[in-house]
């Protein structure tokens, strides 16, 4: 007995791409909690980069959309997607410690990781955070 297939099994998986700008930021990163003022940088698929306490309104720069796609691919393929948070400690070493975070929203899924500032970070998180910080600090003005 044979069955006809719809061809779904033969199709290659869709490329992992940033979510559209209409659906929100493709990448957000920054720090929150503790005694520090929260800071967020949001990078959208159309290249808009917004930064500040309210990343929804503080437009600061722009990137090429291809650069945003490359950042999402980097996150997916270079270790960030598999970073695991350490086991929670009760009580935490410093209950007032701020946390650094990165969230990537793509067509293939969402991944968020956060780690206490001042404690060792996994290498993939540290490298991606440094890359995002450098990119956000040097893009062109709109």
> Residue 16: which of 139, 111, 85 has the closest Cα?
111
In terms of DSSP bridges, do strands 59-62 and 99-106 run parallel, antiparallel, or are they unpaired? unpaired
Residue numbers of the domain that contains 40: 25-84+98-137
Q: Tell me how many domains the chain contains.
A: 1
- 82 by DSSP, 3-state: which? helix
107 and 73 Cβ atoms separated by less than 8 Å: no
Of all residues in the chain, what percent carry a pLDDT higher than 90? 33
Say if 11 falls within a structural domain: no
- Maximal C-alpha separation, the chain: 68
Tens of pLDDT, residue by residue over 49-91, are: 988 755 455 666 789 999 999 999 999 999 999 888 766 655 5
pTM over 0.75: yes
> Across residues 8-21, what is the average pLDDT?
63
Chain length of the chain: 142
Instruction: Give the per-residue pLDDT at 2.
Output: 41
Instruction: Give the per-residue pLDDT at 98.
Output: 82
Say if 12 falls within a structural domain: no
């Amino acid at each position: 007995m044979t069955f006809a297939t719809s061809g779904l099994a033969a199709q290659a998986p869709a490329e992992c791409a940033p979510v559209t700008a209409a659906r929100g930021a493709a990448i957000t990163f920054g720090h929150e909690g503790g005694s520090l003022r929260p800071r967020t940088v949001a990078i959208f698929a159309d290249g808009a980069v917004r930064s500040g306490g309210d990343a929804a309104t503080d437009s600061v720069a722009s990137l090429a959309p291809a650069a945003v796609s490359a950042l999402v691919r980097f996150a997916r393929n270079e270790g960030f997607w598999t970073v695991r948070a350490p086991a929670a400690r009760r009580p935490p070493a410093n209950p007032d410690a701020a946390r650094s975070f990165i969230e990537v929203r793509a067509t293939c899924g969402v991944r968020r990781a956060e780690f206490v500032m001042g404690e060792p970070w996994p290498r993939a998180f540290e490298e991606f955070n440094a890359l995002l910080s450098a990119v956000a600090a040097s893009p062109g003005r709109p």
